[in-house]
């Protein structure tokens, strides 16, 4: 039930309407976020060091393979040339060529066996380090999700009021997934790529420093090209995310309000707006993909230029016998492999920026100011009579705009107190303060003479039950939704609560009865049926104080009659707060508080306030007599 109010307050938040997709760009503070992320990885430092060591060893082994294979090529070439030389000499002198083989098959076999063993070791080490890193990354993101969930349970309602639903959910899903992917794949890849580049340069230097110099020129040119095109494409990638968010938001609004669009014949106009944003998205996507797509072909083009230069110069050097043919074949393989880690590092850097930006958004939540801690020795109340009193309460959502200034009123046990007033008068805020969703700046809120600040929040909220205008039901059976109001409720208690709420009849008529599953959109139940289920939930919770927020709105006359009967029963023997928009529903209230701009301007019964001819009288007449409300 308390979640209902939280959900309602969230929907009333000033920034509600997020589309659920938050564009990830660069972090605001790269170093600070990196340090905070390292703190999360610190408990797994030994495993990470082991992964780095395994990655280095596996990479070093794989780098040596081309040079070792080059020795085999040299042996084959030398053997072939020796055989050809022997035949030429024999033919020249008319002698018979010897049958003894000039090919060193045993040496070649040893080299191939060595290559096979090293390749197997490198593959096994790569598998082990990937397996370990996958476990480390999952443990890191598990802890991150756990801390995020614990933190969000301690955050005040104002945190949710100031953020769209999609933004909060994105931190749980998108942001954590980005970090997980980068930790699991990117971290190992950037290590192996860096080691590969250094290792290849070292191996090439051992073969030919002059050829290495020409190869490094291609690296410099590749780096310049990557930096240039990455900067150019970032603008379009940012625009793509922006237009994608606008497109999702527009589609969500159109889908949610499709009935209104049809009723006002606005389909074509909405379609034109959608097309406009869609065209912008398509152009931004095309430009970003075109520019970023040029990087890989250009890198390969530069790499092929280096490959051609090395092949030509290497051939000349082989002819001049300044280098062996096996070494030049190994060098050519290194050249072919050289550009691959460069491209990988370029892509990983972008992924790393996205991961740090995602981590920064998560750490921003973890740094949010929490609710005030509960008192060390709290007062515990199992049941109360329901005597509620506000004493000189000061409160504001925004410091420069006070809402309640010296607000005081009293509600006696077992009475029905109605709170009425125009939008923004502070009606829902009173409920938020009663439930301690928000903390008052000064003053006291007393329940049976006990200051609610001297109690645990959970204890305060257990004293209240809520039936709101916006019904909240979760995906599950009707029985589970009713039992949400009481832990370990029996089937008999659930059925009895439904009967008292006048919901048993329609529940029994459903194909699966109380086991009927409510889908996520709640489309298989009418508005009135949903409301009756929430009333049954409140019956089962049996609170001492009840809060009703226009529970009969948006339902048909017959269902309203059922709801009114159910509310009449549930209000008996407890203190009731009724937030009223339709004044006809509060005629029998024991006391009516009329609010405007955060102040209680009138107090009395329905009859007394009408006879007074003040603000309440004007509100009543504007609803039922058609009179204009004058300033």
Q: Is 474-542 CATH 3.40.50.300?
A: yes
Residue where the block lists tokens 């009840």: 546
Give dist(CA 40, CA 44) in Å, integer.
8
Residue 496 is encoded by which pair of tokens? 């009895």
21 or 53: which leads in pLDDT: 53
pTM of the model: 0.63
| CB-based contact 454:378 (threshold 8 Å) | yes
Beta strands in 439-529 (DSSP E): 442-447, 450-451, 464-467, 476-477, 517-518
* pLDDT tens sequence across 248-263: 767 767 776 777 777 7
Whole-number CA gyration radius for the chain: 37
Whether 243 has a pLDDT exceeding 90, the answer reads no
Give dist(CA 591, CA 132) in Å, integer.
67
* pLDDT tens sequence across 450-508: 999 999 988 998 898 888 777 778 888 889 888 887 878 888 999 998 888 888 888 99
What are the phi and psi torsion angles at 593 (to 5°)?
A: -100, 120
**Average pLDDT value for residue range 44-70:** 84
Residue 600 is encoded by which pair of tokens? 């209680």
pLDDT of res. 628? 41
pLDDT of res. 24? 41
Q: Which of 40-54, 300-314, 604-618 has the lowest mean pLDDT?
A: 300-314
Residues 6+ apart with CB under 8 A from 250: 270, 273, 274, 277
Confidence class for position 203, pLDDT limits 50, 70, 90: confident
* pLDDT tens sequence across 98-115: 555 566 777 778 888 888
476 or 244: which leads in pLDDT: 476
* pLDDT tens sequence across 120-163: 988 898 889 888 888 888 888 888 888 888 888 888 877 877 77
166 or 514: which leads in pLDDT: 514
Whether 41 has a pLDDT exceeding 50, the answer reads yes
Whether 610 has a pLDDT exceeding 80, the answer reads yes
**Average pLDDT value for residue range 564-578:** 84
pLDDT of res. 241? 62
**Average pLDDT value for residue range 330-350:** 76
- What is the average pLDDT score of the chain? 79
Give dist(CA 144, CA 153) in Å, integer.
14
15-208+323-366 CATH choice from 1.20.1560.10, 3.40.50.980, 3.30.160.270, 1.10.10.10 = 1.20.1560.10
Give dist(CA 466, CA 545) in Å, integer.
9
Residue 273 is encoded by which pair of tokens? 């707006």
Whether 368 has a pLDDT exceeding 80, the answer reads yes
Whether 521 has a pLDDT exceeding 70, the answer reads no
Count CB neighbours of 615 within 10 A: 18
* pLDDT tens sequence across 174-186: 788 888 888 877 7
> For the chain, what are the domain ranges?
15-208+323-366, 474-542
């Amino acid at each position: 039930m308390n979640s209902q109010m939280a959900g309602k307050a969230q929907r009333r938040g000033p920034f509600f309407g997020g589309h659920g997709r938050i564009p990830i760009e660069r972090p605001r503070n790269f170093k600070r976020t990196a340090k905070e992320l390292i703190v999360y990885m610190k408990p797994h430092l030994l495993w990470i060091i082991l992964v780095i060591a395994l990655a280095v060893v596996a990479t070093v082994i794989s780098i040596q393979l081309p040079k070792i294979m080059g020795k085999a090529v040299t042996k084959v070439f030398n053997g072939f040339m020796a055989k050809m030389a022997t035949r030429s000499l024999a033919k020249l002198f008319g002698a018979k060529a010897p049958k003894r083989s000039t090919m060193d098959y045993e040496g070649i076999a040893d080299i191939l066996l060595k290559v096979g063993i090293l390749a197997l070791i490198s593959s096994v080490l790569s598998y082990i380090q990937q397996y370990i890193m996958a476990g480390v990354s999952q443990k890191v993101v598990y802890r991150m999700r756990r801390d995020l969930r614990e933190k969000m349970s301690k955050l005040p309602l104002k945190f949710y009021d100031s953020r769209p639903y999609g933004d909060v959910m994105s931190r749980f899903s998108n942001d954590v997934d980005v970090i997980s992917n980068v930790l699991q794949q990117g971290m190992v890849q950037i290590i192996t790529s860096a080691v590969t580049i250094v290792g290849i340069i070292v191996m090439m230097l051992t073969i030919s420093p002059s050829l290495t110099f020409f190869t490094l020129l291609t690296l410099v040119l590749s780096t310049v090209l990557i930096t240039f095109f990455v900067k150019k494409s970032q603008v379009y990638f940012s625009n793509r995310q922006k237009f994608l968010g606008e497109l999702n938001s527009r589609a969500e609004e159109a889908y949610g309000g499709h009935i209104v669009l049809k009723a006002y014949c606005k389909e074509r106009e909405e379609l034109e707006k959608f097309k406009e944003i869609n065209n912008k998205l398509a152009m931004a996507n095309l430009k970003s993909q075109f520019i970023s797509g040029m990087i890989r072909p250009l890198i390969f083009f530069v790499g092929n230029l280096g490959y051609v230069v090395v092949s030509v110069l290497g051939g000349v050097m082989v002819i001049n016998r300044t280098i062996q043919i096996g070494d030049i074949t190994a060098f050519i393989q290194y050249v072919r492999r050289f550009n691959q880690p460069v491209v990988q590092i370029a892509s990983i850097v972008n992924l790393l920026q996205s991961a740090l930006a995602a981590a920064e958004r998560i750490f921003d939540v973890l740094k949010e100011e929490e609710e005030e801690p509960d008192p060390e020795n709290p007062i515990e109340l199992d049941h109360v009579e329901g005597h509620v009193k506000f004493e000189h309460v000061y409160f504001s959502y925004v410091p420069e705009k006070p809402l309640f200034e010296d607000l005081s009123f009293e509600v006696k046990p077992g009475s029905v107190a109605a709170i009425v007033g125009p939008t923004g008068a502070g009606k829902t805020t009173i409920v938020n303060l009663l439930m301690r969703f928000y903390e008052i700046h000064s003053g006291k809120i007393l329940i049976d003479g006990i200051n609610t600040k001297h109690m645990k929040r959970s204890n305060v909220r257990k004293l209240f039950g809520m039936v709101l205008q916006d019904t909240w039901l979760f995906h599950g059976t009707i029985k589970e939704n009713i039992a949400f109001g009481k832990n370990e409720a029996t089937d008999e208690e659930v059925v009895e609560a439904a009967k008292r709420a006048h919901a048993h009849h329609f529940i029994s008529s459903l194909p699966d009865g109380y086991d009927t599953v409510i889908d996520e959109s709640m489309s298989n139940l009418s508005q009135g049926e949903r409301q009756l289920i929430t009333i049954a939930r409140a019956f089962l919770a049996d609170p001492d104080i009840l809060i009703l927020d226009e529970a009969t709105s948006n339902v048909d006359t017959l269902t309203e009659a059922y709801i009114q009967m159910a509310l009449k029963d549930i209000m008996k023997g407890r203190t009731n707060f009724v937030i009223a928009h339709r004044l006809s529903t509060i005629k029998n209230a024991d006391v009516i508080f009329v609010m405007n701009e955060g102040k209680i301007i009138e107090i009395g019964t329905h009859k007394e306030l009408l006879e007074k001819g003040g603000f309440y009288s004007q509100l009543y007449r504007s609803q039922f007599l058609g009179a204009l409300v004058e300033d």
